[in-house]
Amino acid sequence: MILAIQPEETMRSFVERTLFIKGKHSSTEVFRKFPKSPSRADVSIIAEALGWFGCYGLNKMLHRHTNYPFTAVFKNIQDISYSRNEYISYSSFYDSNRNPSGFCPVCVAEDIERLGFSFWRRAHCFKLKVCAEHNVELVKRCPHCDKQFSHGGHDLGVMWKACEGRHLKNCPVTLNTDPFELKKAQIFTDILSFTHHLSEEAVLAVLNEKIHQEGVFEQKIWNSESDRCLGDKIERRLGIVKNARSVNRLPSDEPTDFIIQAIVETYESFADFVCDVKAYGDEIRPIESLLSTYIAGHQESTHFVEENYKHGVGYWSCPFPAKKVWGMWDWRPVYYPCCNFERPKRKGPQPQPELVKNAPPGIYRRQ
Ligand SMILES: [Zn+2]
Ligand SMILES: [Zn+2]
């Protein structure tokens, strides 16, 4: 019997809470072996323990229990996958125990009242300073011994044990007095819980216009060297994204920090920003619709596989074939139902099935 992961709970919090409740010897091996810097494969293993399988399972975990939405919410309109090729890559690391965690004492007290225990929330284990819900300062160091909640300090188990006999819930509450920090926390939290993908081009175009259109913001933005860089960065990336769309070439991924920073600097709320983005006219796609799909490869065009768990098959597609390739234009989109598509009948050498080195993973079939 596996514990239930709580809404907004970080993966590491869930793993450490399981070990605390079940004891180091009685808990399932995957929890005991959860590494200090988990890779994509480790995230999938925990997702599977919860009954979340395949590409969908990995993405559900990334979307609900890590800070991955800060990247994924701003999505290129020609990308139909939630996390690009994360599902078949081995390079990324998530939720390292070196990232300092934090908590809001009011949230902790409310959790204990409601559930009988508390847990570590993803937005509070990030670089924010304030709880968006309670407008109180987040606690990033143990109030009893001043240790950080990360490698070299307290492990996350201190939430359920205590430090020197004193529980974290008895930590003093400090009200936040900086309205900018509150707005920032609210915008970040709204991005984490947003249910749709916003078109990257629409996002950049709206920010670019906003920065140049409003005198006040323009003054503010051009005030310092770093703000000028921000405006330049948005304009440069917008050019890349528009050009890539015109020739059907997915641009390489870029960190989205500058997008989020620009939203925080120029908008009062994330809802206001979303209103402007919607007016741009690009489709606003539900997160749920992209969770089962990953990028299977880039040749001249980007190829996707959508996993279907009812039938246990993958649909391979190339919805946006590159327009400029070897001097040829306008390749038509291709959708292959599974890999057993009918081959053209012709004379001469027939295709021979061959075992490839990096075959896409097998697909789970729901019983
Ligand atoms: Zn709170
Ligand atoms: Zn302590």
Residues with CB under 5 A from ligand 1 (ion): 104, 106-107, 131, 133-134
Extract the tokens encoding 147: 């240790």
Extract the tokens encoding 73: 């919410």
Burial class from Cβ neighbours inside 10 Å (0-12, 13-18, 19+) for residue 102 reads buried
Cβ(315)–Cβ(305) under 8 Å? yes
* 200-213 vs 225-246: helix crossing angle, rounded to 10: 140
Extract the tokens encoding 127: 């670089």
Distance 2 CA to ligand 1 centre (A): 27
Distance 158 CA to ligand 2 centre (A): 8
CA distance 107 to 118: 8
Closest listed ligand to the CA of 167: 2
Nearest to 178 by CA among 128, 234, 105: 128
Closest listed ligand to the CA of 123: 1
Nearest to 4 by CA among 115, 161, 159, 160: 115
Distance 12 CA to ligand 2 centre (A): 19
Distance 113 CA to ligand 2 centre (A): 23
Mean pLDDT in order along the chain per 10 residues (367 residues): 93 94 80 90 94 96 96 97 93 81 96 96 94 98 95 93 90 96 98 98 96 64 68 95 94 94 95 97 97 91 93 90 67 64 61 67 84
Bridge partners (DSSP) listed for residue 313:
308
Cβ(293)–Cβ(350) under 8 Å? no
Distance 137 CA to ligand 1 centre (A): 9
Burial class from Cβ neighbours inside 10 Å (0-12, 13-18, 19+) for residue 88 reads middle
74-75/334-336 β-pairing? unpaired
Distance 138 CA to ligand 1 centre (A): 8
Burial class from Cβ neighbours inside 10 Å (0-12, 13-18, 19+) for residue 75 reads buried
Cβ(169)–Cβ(105) under 8 Å? yes
Distance 164 CA to ligand 2 centre (A): 7
pLDDT digits (tens, 9 = 90+) for 295-336: 998 878 899 999 999 988 888 899 998 886 555 555 677 776
Distance 133 CA to ligand 1 centre (A): 5
pLDDT digits (tens, 9 = 90+) for 115-145: 999 999 999 998 899 999 999 999 999 999 9
- What is the reported pLDDT for 169? 87
Print the SS3 string covering 293-344: EEEEEECCCEEEEEEECCCCEEEEEECCCCCCECCECCCCCEEECCCCCCCC
Distance 145 CA to ligand 2 centre (A): 4
- Domains in the chain: boundaries: 196-284
Distance 135 CA to ligand 2 centre (A): 24
ipTM for the predicted complex comes to 0.98
Closest listed ligand to the CA of 158: 2
CA distance 79 to 53: 22
Extract the tokens encoding 356: 């490839």
Nearest to 313 by CA among 284, 340, 288: 340
Distance 184 CA to ligand 1 centre (A): 15
Cβ(180)–Cβ(129) under 8 Å? no
pLDDT digits (tens, 9 = 90+) for 89-117: 877 778 788 889 999 999 999 999 999 99
Closest listed ligand to the CA of 103: 1
Cβ(199)–Cβ(277) under 8 Å? yes
